[in-house]
Amino acid sequence: MLTAILIGFMGTGKTTVGNVLAINTQQQQIDLDDEIVSAAGKSIKQVFAEDGEAAFRQLETTVLKTAFKRNGILSTGGGVIESETNRAVLEATEIPIIFLKTLPTVILERLTGEDAAVRPLVGQLGPAGLTRLWKKREPLYERISDLTILTDELTPEEVSERIETFL
């Protein structure tokens, strides 16, 4: 069974925290973006460029459903709550959902260089568009989560400790 699902905007540390949490609790980490890359046989950037965002979202829904059959900690991609199907799945589950919340100013500082290069939406939207997207998504993350952690001033280890205490 999955024991925790990490959600939140790009650059909030879902993958990094999920990795620490998985190590600390001796579980496997499943990263939804990695699952999409394996399923597509190409990078996220290539999926967006060659097949479009809608195709990416379909793949994301498929791999999310498959991930529910596995064991461990699930780190999702920031856009997992874009699909109504995904939101319904996440709202219905008993598995604890942890929202890693980071303010847009901090996110924009983080999403530069390689971190920006692997995320097509960063280049497409720019700072103002990303901030708008953050505001649109924020209530959706809040609604489906069981715990919100403001990560701005915490290390991944500290975030993981809080999740471990909660679980």
In the annotated binding site for ATP, the residues are: 11-16, 119
Q: Which is nearer to ligand S3P, 53 or 146 (CB)?
A: 53
Other residues' Cβ atoms within 10 Å of the Cβ of residue 46: 13
Residue number with CB closer to ligand S3P (33 or 86): 33
Tell me, what DSSP letter sits at residue 82? Answer: G
Min separation Cβ 120 and ligand S3P, Å? 6
CB of 49 to ligand S3P, least distance (A): 12
Which CB, 28 or 165, lies closer to ligand S3P? Answer: 28
Q: What residue ranges bind ligand S3P (CB under 6 A)?
A: 10, 14-15, 33, 44, 77-79, 119-121
Q: Least distance in Å: CB of 65 to ligand S3P?
A: 16
Where is the binding site, in residues? 11-16, 33, 57, 78, 119, 137
Closest CA to 110 of 99, 100, 122, 98: 122
Supply the DSSP symbol for 12. Answer: S
Most distant CA atoms of the chain, gap in Å:
43
What is the separation of C-alpha 49 from the centre of its chain, rounded to a whole number of angstroms?
20
Q: Is 129 helix (H, G, I), strand (E, B) or coil?
A: helix
